[in-house]
Structure 1
């Protein structure tokens, strides 16, 4: 039973990481504009995050060190500090988007303006981080996030022509779109699938739960169940948008438009279920990103950290999370559109990926840390392929953002 419950770490990471506000919005935007012409990015992203998370989880379990402890050791204080600064700022941007995403999801449920929900969302996240045990947090949010399966149910209720749908899932650039826009959204989807905070959370979560070398099978189960599940849910969101929004020329600019195909397919009941899933997914991602803010700084500077410690025993770790939530709330209070923050966060995530991926890849091959649990030939082959892809996405992210006008 304990092994079964442990798999919920992967489910939470998938629901609150792979399927967060970034994936909800980005997949719906892409489906409403490109149909399934960019569907190929999803399996690429799923395999990439599986490789990345599997290495980071194994490193944490075998070496007893989480991501930023390793980064400081391998890169040294100066280069490690630059890495920390960039990773922390992008994580903070993602946290801001997730808190805004909770407010947008609650607006769907209540009709109350998101600006009024934002402080409620931030306080709720803080209370859970302060008072709720890690195991309860991951299990409850992971289960509620499974309500997003409503998107997959909606696909079947819409009765698509499956052969015609499969024919659309080819990597062809629509003639109505500029190449820079097509590749901008390809990078955005890739960044949404491989957001760095997923790995910060996953490797630190392994330490929270006290994983050792004997838990590697559980780590693999987490990765191989959680992330493909997240990928299937993301694909369902894109398919729903392709079937309902694309034919009507509706381009997604709000979370209500993301949910529109579900309401059309299954009516009020299915809509309620998907809204519950959206709240759970964005709330889970806000928990992960807030924790990741504390994890990164505490691990780098050697502070006590983790929810397995009392707040009084890890006061700086908890203080970082509180300050991060307040900064995110302050950004949202300026009236910035959470959807735009989300779109920016997924692109900048692609920009930051090499900073954490390369040190983990190096350490996963270091016998001093890993003993006989170093990467195998197959993992290394995939790892090097994805290193090239990650570097290419990182280099292209900002130029594509500028040239395409953020996909306008």
Structure 2
């Protein structure tokens, strides 16, 4: 009997670690990769210190989202709908849905640009083919299948570790850039700081993480809200460990992208990099064919993971706002509105690419947009996870509140600093 319990614990831990890695990998979408590549090319290894600084912020917002889903038994937007005024629900919903759709379009375009290096087809047609494949997975794959596919896709991000090593960075410069922060109070620097924070703390990650926790409870047979409400201390401790593993993975990818582009592109004067695909091409003569191919493979692999997370995340938000069923466990006939939302958002993302939407610039600028949409949503999550009406006795501890309010203040300050540079 004890052996069975031990096996169950190991399986539970393995599943939890898989969830954390999926969320962390989805955070490193093509938009994020483009932003990190642009930062490394523009500022070199001197900006490496930002990765460890952003790590506790990433952990805080994702864990609070996970905790909210576990304890309330609801996705983020169902919590807003059940406990907050309708005007707040719709105000937040509009901003998040528009942001998710534009970023999904940008990521599809970024993936297509990367695939275009190997496939001689017009970019919009590659976008359409990729979108159709992703939509088929979401419409006809079970939740367990989707989760398994996503786990395997996370391995694509390991390509950036190899690409950084192939770039042969100077150890002394890497150490200085990591341990000695270099700060500039000009628009270019503050723009890239806001973009990095925004893309690392993207709103779609919050909603995906809370809904993922709900989906896991549904998989365990807790199909009714009354069955899903509540989480034990051990479950929350496992969630903290899970999120920490996922965010360490995501943050390490950020660090190695900054390292590889800073040690090559910046060092050779190629400071104007706008996309991940452009960075992959520019790496070819400087770090070798292997580094370029690995960089490109990473873009494609994580794009297949991140785009459905964005479209499904926005569909969760919309369906929950209207009070309709929203679950990847349900078949399309059981939750028609949810799946129509996924299909519609995917179609809009594809159409934007056919209409001349420029994914190249959007991949970096979407990070800045996320940087401005993140602060109010993060503030709302802090209020939610401190509400006893929602969380019962599982409201935030003092240290979690300290991390949360420091993160919220830092995000607001970075955005305000960027606005100040524009005005002055």
- TM-score, reference length from structure 2: 0.87
Shift of 1:156: 2.6
User: 1:41 aligns to what?
Assistant: 50
User: 2:333 aligns to what?
Assistant: 312
1:41, 1:190 within 8 Å by CA — same for their partners in 2? no
Deviations 1:16-49 (A, max 9, x none): 22x1112211111111111133333323332112
Of the structure 1 ranges 133-142 and 8-17, higher mean CA displacement relative to structure 2 is found in: 133-142
2:187, 2:418 within 8 Å by CA — same for their partners in 1? no
1:353, 1:394 within 8 Å by CA — same for their partners in 2? no
Shift of 1:287: 0.8
CA distance in 2, matches of 1:350, 1:167: 27
Give SS of 1:290's match: helix
From 187, 193, 205, the equivalent of 1:180 is 187
1:351, 1:395 within 8 Å by CA — same for their partners in 2? no
User: 2:133 aligns to what?
Assistant: 124
User: 2:200 aligns to what?
Assistant: 193
Write the mapping of 1:132-281 to structure 2, written as runs, cut at 5 A. 132-169=141-178, 170-173=180-183, 179-210=186-217, 213-214=231-232, 215-250=235-270, 251-260=272-281, 263=284, 267-268=288-289, 271-281=292-302
Gap change, CA 1:133 and 1:268, over 3 Å in 2: farther
1:154, 1:261 within 8 Å by CA — same for their partners in 2? no
| Residues 1:8 and 2:15 are matched in the alignment | no
Shift of 1:286: 0.2
Of the structure 1 ranges 55-64 and 108-117, higher mean CA displacement relative to structure 2 is found in: 108-117
Shift of 1:378: 0.2
- Segments of structure 2 that go 5 or more residues without pairing to the other structure are 1-10, 218-227
CA distance in 1, matches of 2:161, 2:55: 17
Shift of 1:381: 0.8
Give SS of 2:96's match: helix
Gap change, CA 1:265 and 1:219, over 3 Å in 2: farther
2:45, 2:173 within 8 Å by CA — same for their partners in 1? no
CA distance in 2, matches of 1:300, 1:397: 32
From 322, 330, 349, the equivalent of 1:301 is 322
Shift of 1:171: 3.2
Write the mapping of 1:59-70 to structure 2, written as runs, cut at 5 A. 59-70=68-79
1:149, 1:233 within 8 Å by CA — same for their partners in 2? yes
- TM-score, reference length from structure 1: 0.91
RMSD: 2.3
1:241, 1:261 within 8 Å by CA — same for their partners in 2? no
CA distance in 1, matches of 2:211, 2:135: 18
Shift of 1:279: 1.3
Gap change, CA 1:44 and 1:123, over 3 Å in 2: same
2:379, 2:408 within 8 Å by CA — same for their partners in 1? yes
Of the structure 1 ranges 391-400 and 70-79, higher mean CA displacement relative to structure 2 is found in: 391-400
| Residues 1:30 and 2:39 are matched in the alignment | yes
Shift of 1:244: 1.0
CA distance in 2, matches of 1:277, 1:128: 20
CA distance in 2, matches of 1:28, 1:275: 12
1:352, 1:394 within 8 Å by CA — same for their partners in 2? no
CA distance in 2, matches of 1:55, 1:144: 25
